[in-house]
Structure 1
Amino acid sequence: MNKEVTFIRIEQEEEIAAAAKLAAEIWREHYVSLITREQIDYMLEKFQSVPAITEQIERGGYVYYLIRGEDADVGYMAVREADGKLFLSKFYIAKPYRGRGYASRADEYLERLCRERGLTAIWLTVNRDNASSIAVYTKKGFRTVREQAADIGNGFIMDDYVMEKEIPPLQ
């Protein structure tokens, strides 16, 4: 990819709305083969709606970024520092832009954030049945460190792998 990619820290209402819109589009396209539509709708409202994202930014310690390239918002991600590591809470690329190097650029950006902040690793959770995402994370150097099942309410369980990538300091 030769085009410029920018990571825009989400702070304004219209940026939050853009992330929520991307979430709805991506989740309804990608996750329909992994979880029910009811769970998708529930999770979007609980975790990826404008009020939910606003709450995470204002009170949860999360930093959201729009990923902009090709004159469009191609995806978004959210991170939070904890215990000397960076938690990659959200990372999504819209279908038309997958396979174009955006995940690699985001991975480079996250590694740089870790090094600048003295953090030792990036970790995330991923649905155990989400083979395409697991393959991308594995290719980027993440390894599965454990499994977890989390009750997220309304009778829904998130059945995930926890994956982690160590970030050695620059020598």
Structure 2
Amino acid sequence: MNIVPLQKEQLSIVAELAYEIWPTAYGEILSPEQLQYMLAQFYSLEALETQFQNGQHFLLLKDAERAVGFLSYELNCYHSQKLKIHKIYVLPTEQGKGLGKLLIDKAIEIAIAQNQKAIFLNVNKYNKARFFYEKLGFTIVKDEVIEIGNGYVMDDYVMESAV
């Protein structure tokens, strides 16, 4: 497995992966309408380019043949000296193989190299990924409800781990 930085011209790969991963990741949590709305809001090429321009870094996880996952992060998020993982996803067919941990380890490595004090992320309160993060040493530091438009909200835990 290889983790490589993504260039702006390659953001369509992230969009393709998200559209493949999200129905499995959120199919039992979100309505089909909210799922489609959120994909359009966060994973359209325009949205991804804006995120890229606003300081998100994207990493692609590849096997010998194709991309199987991705991670995006932001350094000093909210001027906190903490790295925020904005997105971390692995194809459902590739889950359970340690690839998510590989991506988290890479984020920790970057955080240490950039003198960040911790890494944090948001996870849907009903997403089983929460237990994966807890296994890796993340703890819930708060919960928050974020309005995202169209009458929808993200009902999340904020989880953090020192580096």
Instruction: Report the equivalent of 1:24.
Output: 19
Shift in Å, 1:88: 0.3
Q: CA contact under 8 A between 2:8 and 2:49: conserved in structure 1? A: no
Choose the corresponding residue for 1:64, options 58, 64, 68: 58
Deviations 1:134-165 (A, max 9, x none): 11100111000011001000000110000000
Deviations 1:93-124 (A, max 9, x none): 00010011101211211111011000011100
Instruction: Report the equivalent of 2:92.
Output: 95
Deviations 1:8-31 (A, max 9, x none): 211142x21111000011112221
Matched, 1:10 2:6: yes
Q: Summarize the alignment of residues 89-168 of structure 1 with structure 2, pairs less than 5 Å apart.
A: 89-130=86-127, 132-167=128-163
Deviations 1:24-80 (A, max 9, x none): 11112221100111111111111111111111102x110111111242211111100
Aligned amino acid, residue 66 of structure 2 = A
Q: Summarize the alignment of residues 29-44 of structure 1 with structure 2, pairs less than 5 Å apart.
A: 29-44=24-39
Gaps of 5+ in 2: none
What stretches of structure 1 move > 3 A for 4+ residues in a row? none
Alignment RMSD (CA, Å): 1.0
**Partner-residue secondary structure (3-state), 2:7:** coil
**Partner-residue secondary structure (3-state), 1:135:** helix
Give the TM-score taking structure 1 as reference length. Answer: 0.90
Choose the corresponding residue for 1:73, options 67, 78, 81: 67
What is the aligned-residue identity percentage? Answer: 31
Q: CA contact under 8 A between 2:141 and 2:160: conserved in structure 1? A: yes
**Partner-residue secondary structure (3-state), 2:27:** helix
Aligned amino acid, residue 91 of structure 1 = I
Gaps of 5+ in 1: none
Pick which of 75-84 and 65-74 moved more.
65-74
**Partner-residue secondary structure (3-state), 2:55:** coil
